Amino acid sequence: MNNEPNKLLAIKLIHTIIWAFFVFVIGYILYSGITNSVTNFTWIGIGLVIGEGFVLLAFKMFCPLTLIARKYTDSQKDNFDIFLPNWLAKYNKLIFTSIFIVGLIIVAVRVIQNL
C-alpha cells in the first residue's frame, strides 16, 4: 500500500494548523495595537512571528513543511502543501507580513505614547 497520500495529508493538516496559529497571533498583535492593550502576550506573539521569519530565512523563504511535502507530490500549485485557496497560498507571505508590520508599527506607537 502506498503511504504517500497519507503522509501528504498529514503534512497539509499540520501545516494548516500552524498557519492558522500564526494568523491568530498576527491578528492578536494588530488587535493589541489598535485597542491599546499591549501585554506580555503581544510581545510573545511578536517574538514568535520574528522567530518564524528566521526559520523562513534559514530555509530560503520556504516553510520546512513545504520542503518535506515536495517529496510526496509533483504538484506545482501554491497550495499543494496546505489547505488554503491557491491565491491565498500564493500571496500568504506578502499579505500576513504586511499585516504584521502594520500591527508592529501600531504597537510601537502605542508603547511610545504610553511612556
Q: What is the per-residue pLDDT across 70-97, written as a single tens digit (0 to 9) for each?
A: 999 999 999 999 999 999 999 999 999 9
Tell me the C-alpha distance between 64 and 90, whole Å. 16
Tell me the C-alpha distance between 28 and 111, whole Å: 16
pLDDT in tens, 7-63: 999 999 999 999 999 999 999 999 999 999 999 999 999 999 999 999 999 999 999
Q: Is 7 exposed, middle or buried (0-12, 13-18, 19+ CB in 10 A)?
A: middle
pLDDT of 1 above 70:
no
| Whole-number Å distance between alpha carbons of 78 and 90 | 5
